[in-house]
Structure 1
């Protein structure tokens, strides 16, 4: 099941994000470097973005994805994480489709993202869904991201991905 953010899931969301970043990918990113996840309503929803979660059959958070507004037509995809045991089972594409549907219905023209350079599976997912790899100097706006070895991507929604 996919649903928009609800405060009752806050701790599960934080636990998932920190686990995937630091246990699976060993990125050593602490909560201070991403305090946005402690106040999702302010950092994502209040300015026109959104945040979604995927729940397993027991109602536990197994995935997250956020859309944060940077300017009128430019948004950033953030906090796209799925527990390893749930990857390849439709949770990723379900969350991604929720985000793309929302973005298109709200007139978003461009989505950018940064992803760890070691996350090759994620890179394939993004490229398969219409994202193009870009260099840092091609970013349409400057923003901070905690993993300095990130790969950067841009999705032009005027062309759009093929939503599955």
Structure 2
């Protein structure tokens, strides 16, 4: 188990957060996206930290090693976004992704959220397995709620229900 701490987003980590996310998207997976394509990362509070939304960081030795976020899309539903873990912190032994997801689940229970939805791209195969192992089920795009903020590159969609 990791000694990583999960905290709510702190502005002091803005550039590190951007560097981690874009580094994984563009550097590791070759997704054609830049920081400029993601203005939400320069305004986390306004974009994510509203109503049932939030943004968390996994911090190890004062360094950002993971991120996860929720956007409130009304009807006790949220969209999961920005789940990224530094390559050195992936896997069961570090459990950073698991810790981040547990934080999201606890938050959702506290806020009375009924469903989480997410969209992802085909390249993120390990992420697909992770979501499925953690109770998410794949759905068709047509099954997303109307308020879901689908991203142009997303082609695979998942949902998690707390009404199990």
TM-score, normalised to structure 2, is 0.91
Which runs of 4 or more aligned residues in structure 1 lie more than 4 Å from their structure 2 counterparts after TM superposition?
Answer: none
CA distance in 1, matches of 2:161, 2:57: 24
Within a 5 Å distance, the mapping from 1:1-164 to structure 2 comes to 1-56=5-60, 58-88=61-91, 89-141=94-146, 142-148=148-154, 150-159=155-164
Which structure 2 segments of 5+ residues have no match? Answer: none
SS class of match (1:147): coil
Tell me how many residue pairs correspond in the alignment: 157
Which structure 1 segments of 5+ residues have no match? Answer: 160-164
TM-score, normalised to structure 1, is 0.91
SS class of match (1:45): coil
Does structure 1 retain, via aligned residues, the 8 Å contact 2:76–2:114? Answer: yes
CA distance in 1, matches of 2:139, 2:12: 37
